[in-house]
Amino acid sequence: MRATFLNAQHKHCEGAGRYLLRSDAFTCLESPDENVKTSLRRQQRWLLEQYQALKDALRAAEVRPLFERINAIRPLRVKAAAAFDWFDLQIDCDSFGRLASDDQALLAGTEANPADLLRDLLPGGSDTMPLLQELGAALIAYTAPTFETICCQITEGVEQGQRALFYDITCPQFPNEGTTMVNDRVHSAATRLVQQMAPAQGGFPGVAIRLELQKDGSWRHDMRLLSRAA
């Protein structure tokens, strides 16, 4: 089991150690009579038990003050490995964060839904989808009804010492009618999306969202991440 400290850019923190837990005996030994999934399921259950022990240890009087000092700088998010993917340990909560679809299916002894697997690829996991849909609906309601294509770039910065979002909304058909201002609904939806994708300040790469009106009256949603260097 390995542990390391990452900064908001998901890079190793300079000056912080890397930790490796070693053992003199095998903890999870795969039996020759087990198939791969059975062995992985047993291993995953063991990992969850160890993660729960870690969460329980955080409540100890000797550890709690240190956690509170770290968390005061910025919320401490711990990502833990499962059999197939990573998940949010929710270190200060009773429950774990959502497991990826294939890890949920492994524990349940079922097969993961292919649609769920695709949603897991979204930044922030499948919980990002409804937030993205709400942001799209807010943008459609906010912009002029003549806009049949809505392009919106959202970037992160600092304003008056606080984390802030900046917007650039344009329409190819009406290039002079763009805006950098949004209403409360758009800003609230964008804030929830950004917090889901990057809880820590400085970790959001920026997104470009494109909404296109289809002939049947529905809207096609596209999203891509912006380059951090941009």
Domain coordinates of the chain in residue numbers? 2-120, 128-225
Query: pLDDT band at 74, cuts 50/70/90?
Result: confident
pLDDT value, residue 113: 64
Please give the average per-residue pLDDT across 183-203, as a whole number: 88
Name the 3-class secondary structure at 182.
coil
Q: 128-225 adopts what CATH topology? A: 3.30.500
Across the strands, what pairs with 222? Answer: 210
Of 139, 213, 148, 212, the C-alpha closest to 179 is 139
Please give the average per-residue pLDDT across 150-156, as a whole number: 95
Strands 162-170 and 207-213: unpaired
Query: pLDDT band at 173, cuts 50/70/90?
Result: very high
End-to-end CA gap in the chain: 36
More confident residue, 10 or 63: 63
pLDDT value, residue 172: 94
Helix (H) or strand (E) holding 104, with range, is: helix 101-108
Query: pLDDT band at 146, cuts 50/70/90?
Result: very high
Could you tell me the pTM of the whole model?
0.53
Name the least confident of 24-33, 66-75, 81-90.
24-33
Please give the average per-residue pLDDT across 63-82, as a whole number: 83
pLDDT value, residue 7: 72
Q: Which residues contact 47 (CB under 8 A, 6 or more apart)?
A: 80, 81, 82, 83
Strands 18-20 and 219-225: unpaired
Query: 208 with 152: CB under 8 angstroms?
Result: yes
Structure tokens belonging to residue 36: 């791969």
DSSP state of 99: P
Structure tokens belonging to residue 48: 């969850």
